[in-house]
Amino acid sequence: MKKLAVIAALAAGAAVAVPAQAARPADPGSQRSAQGKAHEQGSAHRASSRADGSKGKGRCAPRSVGYVASGDFVSSTLVQTQGSDTADVSGDDRWSGALVVAVKRTNHHARADKGTTKTYTLKDAKVRLADRDDDGTRDVPVAGDRVRVQGKITRLNRGCEAAAFSPQLTIRSVGFHEPKSAETPAPNPAPAP
């Protein structure tokens, strides 16, 4: 008797489960929400736009990245283009011309110029001159002064076609400093007994 009750209960459970499976639609994707359908259409559009072999919209467009190089000043043909009428304010001064630097240190984006003598072309760049004798006036740079060049350079992402691409360097600011003194360090005093 107990076996008959168990079999009847299993049969009733199977009868309830079979109609639920029978009511399932033939296409499970037809039950997606409107958001799921919109996502599917967007991915189909992206897939069709990449059929030509490109890696996506804007991925291979040139990007501007920071450029920093420093080293020793060699020569320049800089002329002041703005701010000459305000001698007491140096923040509005802009300079243009050519600047030659023996590059010693660089950031990652300027590493190709490390160890070379590079000529930079400036156009309305900020220039901070050194005051060697501390008299309050900025002095003309001389060969051997330390110089730091900062700007932006364009680059492409890896994997992009670089055949017709040439990086564009724009210098925004230049800072001159007097050379570090070659003082010998004082010897350490002997420890007291």
Where in the sequence is the domain holding 74, given as residue range(s)? 63-177
Q: Which residues of 59-90 are buried (b: 16+ CB within 10 A; e: fewer)?
A: ebeeeeeebebbbbbbebebeeeeeeeeeeee
- The predicted structure's pLDDT at residue 50: 47
- The predicted structure's pLDDT at residue 178: 86
Residue 28 lies in a domain: no
- The predicted structure's pLDDT at residue 168: 93
Residue 185 lies in a domain: no
Residue 133 lies in a domain: yes
What is the C-alpha to C-alpha distance for residues 153 and 69, in angstroms, rounded to an integer?
12
Residue 52 lies in a domain: no
**What is the number of structural domains in the chain?**
1
What is the C-alpha to C-alpha distance for residues 174 and 69, in angstroms, rounded to an integer?
10
CA angle 180, 184, 188 (to 5 degrees): 130
- The predicted structure's pLDDT at residue 90: 65
- The predicted structure's pLDDT at residue 130: 83
- The predicted structure's pLDDT at residue 59: 84
Q: For the domain that residue 127 is a member of, what is the CATH number?
A: 2.40.50
Residue 162 lies in a domain: yes
- The predicted structure's pLDDT at residue 47: 45
Per run of 10 residues, the mean pLDDT along the chain (length 193 residues) is 72 63 63 57 49 61 94 92 73 88 95 94 90 77 92 91 88 90 63 65
- The predicted structure's pLDDT at residue 51: 47
Residue 153 lies in a domain: yes
Are 112 and 75 in contact by the 8 Å Cβ rule? The answer is: no
Residue 91 lies in a domain: yes
Residue 80 lies in a domain: yes
- The predicted structure's pLDDT at residue 48: 42
- The predicted structure's pLDDT at residue 162: 82
- Check residue 156 and report its DSSP letter: -
What is the C-alpha to C-alpha distance for residues 58 and 66, in angstroms, rounded to an integer?
20
